Structure 1
Amino acid sequence: MTSHTSRPSRDDVLNAFSVEPDSGRETLERYLRDHPDLAPELVDLSRELSLGVCEDEEPLTPEDEALIDAGWSRHKGANPKSVNPFDALSLDELRDLAKRLEVPRQVITAFRERRVDVASVPRRFLTRLAAALNSTLDLLVSALGPQHTPDLARSYKSNTKPMVAAPVSFERLLIDAGVPEERRAGLMADDN
């Protein structure tokens, strides 16, 4: 660099480091020599990149990811009532959740999309669902409540205003999903 004005920005340096084919020790030392003013940020970025390599070798379990997401939300100061425990789940995790709870995937999808009348769901099932989501019962009920319906009506571009479907009862959801009567009776039972 011949002049002070041609010095790359902080973001340019960090972006360049992050796309290096080898972000190992030698590359880090070279960047530290060339940009000593960015040393703490370069070291942090190097650590993050090295952790990414470890995750490829041993992927996190869904439980680990849920715990990390919950901790991150608390760290960011998020209002826990606004956090939907389903939001962080991948498709594979949603499938696994349906298997663990022994319900069709469309039941889990209905909960995720807040189409279930939470008041109609037996407490025992809600407790199992909350535990499977690494959540609390209160957080789950709050996240699924009617105050969390999406504001699609304001942002949708159409001649007609979209309607949010009324929530369905848990039993109706199970019937529509084709859950056999014996299994449905077990899911509807509330030991509390």
Structure 2
Amino acid sequence: MANRDDVLNDFTIEEELLPETLKAYLQRYPEYTQDLLALFNELSMNDLEVAEASLPLESKAMSTEVLRVQHVRQTLFGSGVREFARDLGLPRGFFTGLNADIVHLASMPMGLLKALAKKLDVHIQDVISGMQQGDGQAVAMKSDGKPGNEVPIGFENYVEHADLTEEERRALKTLLADDGSD
């Protein structure tokens, strides 16, 4: 079994921290899922903040739909994830991995998508778009290697490896049971 600190250190010095890199580490070290997701989130948000700070002012003007999708990304993968996860009784690392590059979007229960849309006060399509955009990295990077055909994992498989406590599993079950209607 690999040392946790060594795995996290190796992850931080990866040349490019892309969802594919995270997925590879999650598959190799499922016992460190929570730590890897939290670290990926923290490092991605730092990159996003630097990229957003360098945008010209006129590029920051956005449509209502784009703002809703950005709200989803910030809440699920960014600065709002800690509070959002706490309110729902789930670890923040659980939401970090809910992007379409890690978890196959079609495998996510419709009840989850509806519940997240309701909790975020957005449309289901905004949640889907936010997940498709993943962690929100705004900068395209050149790769030294050819892109891999990494297939996202299924939602059930993701939940199995998320190492949720019984209380967190009950919170997820409650969230899944919420169909988004009042």
Report TM bin, short chain. Answer: 0.3 to 0.5
The TM-score, its normalising length taken from structure 1, stands at 0.44
Greater relative contact order structure (CA < 8 Å, 6+ sep): 2
The TM-score, its normalising length taken from structure 2, stands at 0.45
Q: Mark the structure with the bigger radius of gyration.
A: 1
